[in-house]
Amino acid sequence: MLLLAISILVIAVCLVVEIPRHTSPWSRVQQAVREYDYERALNLAKNVVREHPEDYYGHEYLGYIYLQMGNLNQAEQEYSLEDVRRRLARQSGVEPRGHADAVTAP
C-alpha cells in the first residue's frame, strides 16, 4: 500500500513538472496594473493588441489603462461603443443591431 502511494506521488510530481504552463498574454499587463506601473502596462497591452487587433477585450483594457493615466481622449477612443460593437460583430460573424444591443465597457 505504501509503495502504491509513493508511486502515485512520484507520477503526480512528474506530471506537474512536465506539463507546460500556459499563461495568458495579459498576465504581465495585469501584474503591471496591480503595481500601478501604467506606462509598462500600456506598452505591454499595446503589444498584445498589435498581435490580436480584433480582440475587443484588449481595446477595453487599453481604455482602462488610459483612464487610469488620465488620458481621457485615448480612453474614450478605446472604449468607443461603436468600435466595440464592430469588433464584436466581426468576431461573432453577426451584424450589430441598434443601440439597445450595445455592449458597455466595464
The three cell numbers locating residue 51: 498581435
CB contact set of 29 (below 8 Å; sequence gap of 6+) = 41, 44, 45, 48, 61, 65
pTM of the model: 0.59
* Angle, alpha carbons 31-15-2 (nearest 5°): 125
> Distance of alpha carbon 35 from its chain centroid, rounded?
17
From first to last of the 106 residues of the chain, give the pLDDT tens digit. 788 778 888 777 766 665 555 577 788 999 999 999 999 999 999 999 899 877 778 888 899 999 999 999 998 888 886 676 676 777 777 654 443 333 334 4
Q: Could you read off the pLDDT of 57-67 as tens digits, one per residue?
A: 888 889 999 99
What is the spatial distance between Cα 29 and Cα 31, in angstroms, rounded to a whole number?
5
pLDDT one-digit tens code per residue, 81-90: 667 667 677 7
Q: Rounded to whole angstroms, how far apart are CA atoms 49 and 5?
A: 47
